[in-house]
Chains A and B, each alone.
Chain A
Amino acid sequence: MSEPIITVENLSKCYRIGHLPAQGDGLRHVLENSLRAPQHWLKRRREKRESATEEFWALKDVSFEIKRGEVVGIIGRNGAGKSTLLKIMSRITEPTSGRIAIEGRVASLLEVGTGFHAELTGRENIFLNGAILGMSKAEITRKFDEIVAFSEVEKFLDTPVKRYSSGMYVRLAFAVAAHLEPEVLIVDEVLAVGDAAFQKKCIGKMQDVSKGGRTVIFVSHNMQAVVALCETAVWLQGGKVLATGAAKNLVGKYLSQPAGDGLEPALPLAAKPRTGTGTARFTKLTVGEQGTGDPASGQITTGGSLRIDLEIAARQPVREANVAVTIYDVNNYRLIDVNTALNGEFLSLQPGGLARVSFVIGELLLKPGRYIIELWLGRAGMEDVDFVREAGGFEVLADVAKANHSETFPGIYQCRFSHQISR
C-alpha cells in the first residue's frame, strides 16, 4: 500500500502568451518571413530575446508523490495550475520539463460529457464515450447495465442527449467514466453540476474505487467535497506546490487564507465584465461590518451585520428599477438574495442622476470563508440595466472571542443552537 503509484518530479509547463508577429499563427506571417529571408533571421533573433518576457509558467518545479489507493485532492485558486497539471497527467499536453511516472492505466474525466454527441441517443453515447475513454466494445457491453443503473436514465436511453436535462447528462457521463476501472482516475470539477443526491452517489463511487486499491485524483473548488472525499491534498498556488498534507488541515488553511492574493488582480468595479443595457451602472461597491470602524474593510465576523454600500449613476432615465444584491459562496451556490423590491421600493433616476443604496444584512451567520457579491439593476423579466456577476466579495472571519472550539467544520451556515446531553 505504500509504494508511490504516481511520482511527479520537477514538473514545469510554460505557455507563451501574447502574439509576436514573427511567431504568429497565421500562415501569412510564415510566408512573409520566408520571403523576407535576409531580415528574417535578424528579426527572429531579436524577437526570441523579447519573447522571454512573454513566457507564462503555468507550473514551475512541481514535485509530489501519490500512493496507491489514495484519494488526493488538488486545491488552489483559479490560475494556480490545477488544470494544467491534470492535462499533463492525462497526456493531453506535454510538460516543458520534468517527468511523471504512473504505474498503470489512467482515465481522466476533465469535463463532463466530453465526446458526447448531442444528436446521438444515450445508448449510443455510452458506447461512443466508453470507446473514447479507452474501453473496448466488449468491456462496455459487459458493464452496460451497471452504467445505466448508476446513471438513472433508463427511460431515456433512446432519446438524443440533446433533450436531456443537464443533470441527466452529467449522470450518464460520470457513470461511463466511473466504470472504466483504471488504476488512476482523474476527476476535475464534475461535481459542480448535478443535484445533491447524485453528488453523494459520485463521492460514494469514488470512495469505492479507492477502496478497490485504485487511486483517485480529484480537483474541485468545492471544499466540502474535497474534505469528504480526500485523505490528502496538494495545494497549488501560482504554479507551485504550496503545501501537501492531510486534506482537512489544508482545506482549513486554504479557506482562512485572505482572498485577493491570487493571480486575479482586483479590477475596479467600473472595469468589471458586465451585461445589461447600461443606461445606468453600478459605480461603487463597498462592503464591511456595520458598527465597526471601517465600512469598506471587506471583512465581517460571523454573526455580525453586513453592510453593503452601492452607488448607481444613470446616463439615461431609469424608471422603477429593482436593485438587487446576491451573495454566493466559492462553489457558486446562491445563498442570499436581497433587493429593494422585497421591501416594496423601486429606484427611478434622471439622466446624470446618482443614487446611493445601502443594504444591511443583520446577523450574518455564515461560516468563515470567502463569499462573492453579485449586483443587479433592472426590471424583472423585462430588462437588465446593469448586471455584474462578480462585483466584489468579502471575507467572513471566525468569531474568536466566542469560539470554544478552534476547528472549522464544513458547511456554510453557522446557526445559533443549544444542546442538551442527558445520561
Chain B
Amino acid sequence: MGQRLIIEAGRTERQYWRDLWRYRELFYFLAWRDFLVRYKQTAAGVLWSLIRPVLTMLALMIVVKFGRLSTGGVAGPLFIFAAMLPWQFFSTALSESGSSLITNANLVSKIYFPRLVVPASSIIVCFADFLISAAFLVVLMVYYRFAPPPQVVALPLMLLMALGASFGAGLWIAALMVKYRDFRFIVPFVVQFGVYASPVILKTSVVPEKWGLRFIYSLNPMVGVIDGFRWCLLGGENTIYWPGFAASLLVVVGLVFTGIWYFRKTERTFADMI
C-alpha cells in the first residue's frame, strides 16, 4: 500500500528528499524536452549552441586586438575561449534556470513534484550546450597545435565549481522571480555587465594585489571559476591566485547552500504566487 502522506500547514516535508529521488527521471525528461524543443523550427538547429559562443569570441577578439591586451602567452582565441566556455555556461544557466519556474508556471500551479527539479533540469540543458562548445575548444587547440598542461586533470573540479555557481545563483533568482518579476530585467543586465566584471577579456593579474583588491575581486565567484579554467586548460602564465580562488570557492559553496535553503523556504508558496 505504500506510505502515509500528511498534509499540514508549515510542515517541512520529511519526504522531500525521498521525493526528489523518486522524481529523478523527471530531471532527465524535462531537460530532454527543453533540448528537443529548443531548436525546433530553426534551420541551423543545434549549430546555434556553437554559433553563439564563436561569434561572441570573435567580437571579444576585436576588443583584445585593438586594446593590445595580454593574452597570457597563448593564441588570442584560445585565451578568450577558455574563459568564454565557463562564462557562457554560467550566463545561460543563470538566465534559463532563473526564469524556469515562470516558463513552467502551468506545471507549478497544477501538479505536485519537488520544484527543485525545474531549475536543476534547465541547467542540465545548458550543460549540453557547454559540452558542444567544449568540443569546439578541442578543435581550436588542435588548430593552434596547443597541448594542455598536466593540471588539465583538475578540470572536472573546476566544472563542478561552475555548476555550483550557476545552480546556487539560479535557485536564488528562480525563487525570487516567482515573487518579484523585477529579476526578469535584472538578470540580462547582470549577464551583460558580468562579461566585464569577470576576467573574460582581461587577465585577473591586471587587478592590483594591494589593499586586498584582488581578493575582493575574487568574491565574484566567476573570477575563481574562469581563472581555474584558464589554469587547467592553458597553464603557463595563467596562474591561479590561490587566496582569491579560495574566496570564490567559498562564495560558490555559500551560494549553493543558501540557494537551496531559500528555494525550499519559499517553495510552498510558489503555486499561490506564480
Pairing of A with B: yes
Chain A residue numbers with a CB within 8 Å of B182 are 26-28
Q: Are B9 and A94 in contact (CB under 8 A)?
A: yes
Partner of A114, one of B23, B36, B106: B106
Q: How many residues of B contact A (CB 8 A)?
A: 42
Partner of B25, one of A87, A100, A136: A136
Q: Are B1 and A104 in contact (CB under 8 A)?
A: yes
Please choose the segment from B80-88, B107-115, B250-258 that sits at the chain A interface, where 4 or more of its residues have CB less than 8 A away.
Answer: B107-115
Chain B residue numbers with a CB within 8 Å of A133 are 111
Tell me whether A132 is interfacial, beta carbon within 8 Å.
yes
Q: Tell me, in angstroms, the Cα distance from A114 to B36 when the chains sit together.
A: 18
Q: Are A111 and B110 in contact (CB under 8 A)?
A: yes
Tell me whether A131 is interfacial, beta carbon within 8 Å.
yes
Tell me whether B214 is interfacial, beta carbon within 8 Å.
no
Q: Are B180 and A97 in contact (CB under 8 A)?
A: no
Tell me whether B40 is interfacial, beta carbon within 8 Å.
yes
Q: Are A100 and B111 in contact (CB under 8 A)?
A: no
Most buried by A among B7, B29, B269, B271: B7
Residue of A nearest to B185 (CB): A27
Chain A residue numbers with a CB within 8 Å of B271 are 87, 92-93
Beta-carbon contacts of A87-127 to B below 8 Å, as 1s and 0s? 11111111111111111111010110011010110001001
Chain B residue numbers with a CB within 8 Å of A99 are 6-9
Tell me whether A128 is interfacial, beta carbon within 8 Å.
yes
Q: Are B36 and A101 in contact (CB under 8 A)?
A: no
Q: Are B33 and A128 in contact (CB under 8 A)?
A: yes
Chain A residue numbers with a CB within 8 Å of B108 are 92
Q: Are B110 and A91 in contact (CB under 8 A)?
A: no
Tell me whether B10 is interfacial, beta carbon within 8 Å.
yes
Chain A residue numbers with a CB within 8 Å of B59 are none
Residue of A nearest to B4 (CB): A103
Residue of A nearest to B110 (CB): A114
Q: Are B6 and A110 in contact (CB under 8 A)?
A: no
Residue of B nearest to A136 (CB): B25
Q: Are A119 and B113 in contact (CB under 8 A)?
A: no
Partner of B113, one of A105, A132, A183: A132
Tell me whether B44 is interfacial, beta carbon within 8 Å.
no
Residue of B nearest to A114 (CB): B110
Q: Are B107 and A114 in contact (CB under 8 A)?
A: yes
Q: Tell me, in angstroms, the Cα distance from A101 to B4 when the chains sit together.
A: 7
Tell me whether A407 is interfacial, beta carbon within 8 Å.
no
Tell me whether B2 is interfacial, beta carbon within 8 Å.
yes
Tell me whether B264 is interfacial, beta carbon within 8 Å.
no
Q: Are A132 and B111 in contact (CB under 8 A)?
A: yes
Chain A residue numbers with a CB within 8 Å of B265 are none
Tell me whether B22 is interfacial, beta carbon within 8 Å.
yes
Q: Are B6 and A92 in contact (CB under 8 A)?
A: no
Q: Tell me, in angstroms, the Cα distance from A30 to B5 when the chains sit together.
A: 36
Tell me whether A134 is interfacial, beta carbon within 8 Å.
yes
Q: Tell me, in angstroms, the Cα distance from A104 to B5 when the chains sit together.
A: 7
Tell me whether A40 is interfacial, beta carbon within 8 Å.
no
Q: Beyond A93-B268, A104-B1, is A120–B33 a contact (Cβ under 8 Å)?
A: yes
Chain B residue numbers with a CB within 8 Å of A264 are none
Find residues 21-65 in chain A having any chain B CB closer than 8 Å to their own CB. 25-28, 30
Find residues 218-274 in chain B having any chain A CB closer than 8 Å to their own CB. 268-269, 271-273
Q: Beyond A120-B37, A127-B29, A128-B29, is A25–B179 a contact (Cβ under 8 Å)?
A: yes
Chain A residue numbers with a CB within 8 Å of B192 are none
Chain B residue numbers with a CB within 8 Å of A333 are none
Tell me whether A200 is interfacial, beta carbon within 8 Å.
no
Q: Are A95 and B33 in contact (CB under 8 A)?
A: no
Q: Are A106 and B26 in contact (CB under 8 A)?
A: no
Q: Are A104 and B3 in contact (CB under 8 A)?
A: yes
Q: Are B272 and A132 in contact (CB under 8 A)?
A: no
Chain A residue numbers with a CB within 8 Å of B1 are 103-104, 183
Q: Are A137 and B113 in contact (CB under 8 A)?
A: no
Tell me whether A15 is interfacial, beta carbon within 8 Å.
yes
Chain B residue numbers with a CB within 8 Å of A26 are 180, 182
Most buried by B among A28, A96, A117: A117
Chain B residue numbers with a CB within 8 Å of A114 are 106-107, 110-111
Chain A residue numbers with a CB within 8 Å of B33 are 117, 120, 124, 128
Q: Beyond A26-B180, A28-B182, is A101–B5 a contact (Cβ under 8 Å)?
A: yes
CB distance from A19 to the nearest CB of B (A): 13
Chain B residue numbers with a CB within 8 Å of A127 are 29
Chain A residue numbers with a CB within 8 Å of B268 are 93-94
Residue of A nearest to B272 (CB): A93
Most buried by A among B25, B111, B180: B111
Q: Are B180 and A25 in contact (CB under 8 A)?
A: yes
Partner of B8, one of A92, A95, A106, A120: A95
Q: Are B6 and A101 in contact (CB under 8 A)?
A: yes
Q: Are B26 and A108 in contact (CB under 8 A)?
A: no
Q: Are A89 and B7 in contact (CB under 8 A)?
A: yes
Q: Beyond A25-B179, A104-B1, A115-B111, is A124–B36 a contact (Cβ under 8 Å)?
A: yes
Residue of A nearest to B1 (CB): A104
Q: Are A106 and B5 in contact (CB under 8 A)?
A: yes
CB distance from A124 to the nearest CB of B (A): 7
Beta-carbon contacts of B93-107 to A below 8 Å, as 1s and 0s? 000000000000011
CB distance from A293 to the nearest CB of B (A): 49
Q: Are A94 and B5 in contact (CB under 8 A)?
A: no
CB distance from B28 to the nearest CB of A (A): 8
Most buried by B among A15, A98, A134: A134
| Interface residues, chain A, with chain B CB atoms under 8 Å away | 15, 25-28, 30, 87-106, 108, 110-111, 114-115, 117, 119-120, 124, 127-128, 131-134, 136-137, 183
Q: Which 10 A-B pairs have the closest CB atoms?
A: A91-B112, A131-B29, A27-B182, A100-B7, A114-B110, A27-B180, A99-B8, A93-B271, A102-B5, A92-B271
Q: List 18 A-B contacts (CB under 8 A).
A: A25-B180, A26-B180, A91-B5, A93-B268, A94-B9, A98-B9, A101-B4, A103-B5, A111-B110, A115-B106, A115-B111, A117-B37, A131-B25, A131-B28, A131-B29, A132-B111, A134-B22, A183-B1
Known: A96-B9, A132-B113. 17 other contacts (CB 8 A): A27-B180, A88-B7, A92-B271, A99-B7, A100-B8, A103-B2, A105-B2, A114-B107, A115-B107, A115-B111, A119-B37, A120-B37, A128-B30, A131-B25, A131-B26, A132-B111, A183-B2
